[in-house]
Structure 1
């Protein structure tokens, strides 16, 4: 038999090529969910105790969440109504897992982790799996996200709810099922009840749908859901408007630079063609939620200063989506990945210093733990304790042992029994009279705080100026602790010179 005759037989024995196995879509989605979740948890647990310190707002959470639910509700009638739901949630968590810094901050870590997964799924839906993974991993690296993932406040929970409401919005557009819009509306309402300014994300969603030119039935469905959110939020907004004095400390935009930087970077990224999957484009979703909430808050600040960066921390959803999609676009355009790797390493290196500093007590505007410890160190048992102003009593409330041996000179009713944050103070004349009964007074002043012009505060400062002299001042993060001693010889008779008799300054060790 010739070679040519054997060839067909040989050919029949060769197996056909096996087609390359494509990765499972469900596997890709799992990676997009799990990788950002894991990274956010890891970064959140890194230095979560901040050297066992607590800042003032966290101290408020800690105090109020340890009260009964009825007390939380009664307190909310006077102040902090906007955070009442969050305090109730934290109350239940403290009951389940016990008090402590971990219980205070872990809910925020987990909430921001859930937000990171939502960001990844959003980018996956709008621009593909690689963009989804990159956006989900970028999100927890953002400094503002790292900061509020470790705070015992509501902002991480609000961010998670806005993220998943945004995802519900995007997936509801093509399907138009009523239950999907109901889920969107409920999630947005819950975010708004945790913090009113989450409603600004609702405006961004409306702009997204408008520029995307979605069909009228979709706009109608969104309008119904949005109206439900506004109606559900309206009672809270009306009642909390009467408590606007609690944001009187805002005298201008607080930490605006970060938002401006990420807005400029995000708009620059949006100039590239970033994904075109589905009726809603990624840029049309990301740019409004990045820019509009902060811009609207700044506009409102022309009437009354309201802008604080943490009120719109969910704007980071937009920059993460844009950066993730842009990196995906850049990777597809570059034949060599070396430039991409160099850029990624440079960005990570730039993030190291802020990531380290965010895990120190100095990264917050005050350190309630250090303030309380300084009061404890400077005071002697039986000394008078004076807060300038009385609202700053919360700065030493993190650990009641710090002030247990001192006498609060102005306090008439403690915070818990009066259903307030800082208690109820005595009339001005009684405060001044009580001050004269003490030879030493430890005074607590918040840094950069303006003393309100009211009789109580004027009586405190007047009595200190006329009857006491400053002995020494200790500066801590967020406050000044000053020891005053009684100057018994400060008022000489006419024509008579008396030597001042005063008490020593030594601290009690």
Structure 2
């Protein structure tokens, strides 16, 4: 027996509740105690650049994030740089995705499924992580959710088909321009179409919209291949990486068993199961040839998981309703409250600075506290120059002696440094140097001649007087050692 009475009460409130709920989850602890980690630091420093500097940079690095960087540049221009401006777009995008999931559930399986799905989306741990992240992944999820909602509306015979197909193509285009791996949503939608058995005309229109969107993304895909070294850090696929996706598919399978087909063969399973499974499996397939298996690249697939969780919750409400209709109305609130409490430790952890590898702002504060006018500063590796790029005021009065060309002028994220010989010369001309590097638990061996020269010269000719670690970064102050022994003669300035 379906709970039509309870469902009718939710007809006008199903999608706003998940939207507000997800916004609340996003705003809770949004600043993470004023911390910004290295990935977000990339967004921050690029957003501070002019559009011309951004255009020059993406020719060399991060072309896949061009649209996102331009968006964040506009927001920083309008509202100024802050952790709120950095992360609020992701909060609102995740909330919009939750609202779309709720509407999908309502259209496919009723109001209760929609409300359950929308509430579940914001509680998924990965979603809670990225809805407070100054990166584009939540925005991809929002565009994917809108495109899926448009597809379902078209398959259910909504009016203004031409306008909706154009809107669908635009949303797929946005997905691809934010992260071209999001085009994995197209084969997921193709499975949904096959499940729904639409007319030939619908197939043609879907194919046309998909081809048009893919063509718009293709220049980005082709050009990004010249920057493939940026993902060289991703490890090859191993069997234990598949455990997480397997668990998610098992959970979705439970929902599929409990689902009931809707109109025209559409159901929550026909939409949610492909949306979860196809991008996950597709990314695994791609990673067999090129290691790319990182869960955030297919964060949007969790829309499908949320939809299937909504089906499970709807079935639970109906099962209780067959025994007691008065008790059934409390099932969803109780389950959501219990899940929130159960996930509270994870939620708190994801809102702490320790949830990320490091904290750029904390390191900058340490430098500002320890510096003296005339000091020099070095970064190992050079990518840790993001500490200075995000907080340049903290480095006022000290000189970045390794830097030949700034990140802005060189069109890079970390700038261009002098060669090893010039680096050593510059270092030996200093009495006091501040080194910014990774903390011991996350540091890696120096992998470039420049970085090895920095560390070797510091070890030979300087001695540490202050050594502090803060949130994944290490700040060490070095002063020149006495050069009165034969082993120190090579450290004298005259040896330059």
TM-score range, shorter-chain basis?
Answer: 0.7 to 0.9
After TM superposition, give the deviation of residue 383 of structure 1 in Å: 2.2
Q: Distance in 1 between matches of 2:246 and 2:485?
A: 57
Tell me the residue number matched to 1:15.
none
Tell me the residue number matched to 1:458.
452
Q: Distance in 1 between matches of 2:264 and 2:10?
A: 19
After TM superposition, give the deviation of residue 32 of structure 1 in Å: 1.5
Tell me the residue number matched to 2:198.
214
Q: Distance in 2 between matches of 1:406 and 1:43?
A: 41
After TM superposition, give the deviation of residue 269 of structure 1 in Å: 2.5
Q: Distance in 1 between matches of 2:111 and 2:91?
A: 25
Tell me the residue number matched to 1:363.
355
Tell me the residue number matched to 2:273.
287
Tell me the residue number matched to 1:47.
29
Per-residue Cα deviation, 1:12-61 (whole angstroms, up to 9, x for no partner): xxxxxxxxx97997x74431221111111111111111112212222221
Q: Distance in 2 between matches of 1:29 and 1:437?
A: 73
Q: Distance in 1 between matches of 2:41 and 2:241?
A: 21
Give the structure with the larger helix fraction: 2
After TM superposition, give the deviation of residue 187 of structure 1 in Å: 0.6
Question: Counterparts in 2 of 1:209-248, with a 5 A limit?
Answer: 209-248=193-232
Structure-2 change in CA distance of 1:378 and 1:274 (3 Å)? farther
Computed over aligned residues only, the root mean square deviation of the Cα atoms, in angstroms, reads: 2.8
Tell me the residue number matched to 1:263.
249
After TM superposition, give the deviation of residue 226 of structure 1 in Å: 1.4
Q: Distance in 2 between matches of 1:251 and 1:491?
A: 47
Structure-2 change in CA distance of 1:362 and 1:257 (3 Å)? farther
Match of 2:56 among 74, 84, 91: 74
Task: Determine if contact 2:156/2:263 at 8 Å carries over to the other structure.
Answer: no
Tell me the residue number matched to 2:72.
90
- Whose radius of gyration is greater, 1 or 2? 1
Tell me the residue number matched to 1:504.
none
Task: Determine if contact 1:76/1:84 at 8 Å carries over to the other structure.
Answer: yes
SS in 2 for 1:484: strand
Q: Distance in 1 between matches of 2:429 and 2:338?
A: 63
Structure-2 change in CA distance of 1:396 and 1:290 (3 Å)? farther
Per-residue Cα deviation, 1:271-321 (whole angstroms, up to 9, x for no partner): 223443433221122122212223322332333332222222112201110
Q: Distance in 2 between matches of 1:307 and 1:353?
A: 27
SS in 1 for 2:81: coil
Q: Which moved more, 1:60-69 or 1:298-307?
A: 298-307
Task: Determine if contact 2:259/2:311 at 8 Å carries over to the other structure.
Answer: no
Per-residue Cα deviation, 1:96-122 (whole angstroms, up to 9, x for no partner): 223322222222211111111101011
Task: Determine if contact 2:98/2:121 at 8 Å carries over to the other structure.
Answer: yes
Is 1:484 the equivalent of 2:478?
yes
SS in 1 for 2:64: helix
Task: Determine if contact 2:404/2:417 at 8 Å carries over to the other structure.
Answer: yes
Is 1:152 the equivalent of 2:134?
yes
Output the TM-score relative to the length of structure 1: 0.86
Tell me the residue number matched to 1:393.
385
Per-residue Cα deviation, 1:416-441 (whole angstroms, up to 9, x for no partner): 22222111111221111111112332
After TM superposition, give the deviation of residue 451 of structure 1 in Å: 4.8
Tell me the residue number matched to 1:141.
123
Match of 2:409 among 396, 400, 417: 417
Per-residue Cα deviation, 1:198-240 (whole angstroms, up to 9, x for no partner): 1111221122223443333322222221111211111001111
Task: Determine if contact 1:451/1:457 at 8 Å carries over to the other structure.
Answer: no
Match of 1:300 among 272, 286, 291: 286
SS in 2 for 1:51: coil
Aligned length: 476
After TM superposition, give the deviation of residue 266 of structure 1 in Å: 1.9
Per-residue Cα deviation, 1:141-173 (whole angstroms, up to 9, x for no partner): 222222222222211111111000011111112
Q: Which moved more, 1:442-451 or 1:41-50?
A: 442-451
Task: Determine if contact 1:389/1:451 at 8 Å carries over to the other structure.
Answer: no
Question: Counterparts in 2 of 1:168-179, with a 5 A limit?
Answer: 168-175=150-157, 177-179=161-163
Q: Highest relative contact order (Cα 8 Å, sep 6+), 1 or 2?
A: 2
Tell me the residue number matched to 1:384.
376
Gap regions ≥5 residues in structure 2? none
Q: Distance in 1 between matches of 2:389 and 2:372?
A: 18
Q: Distance in 1 between matches of 2:90 and 2:45?
A: 17
Gap regions ≥5 residues in structure 1? 1-20, 502-509
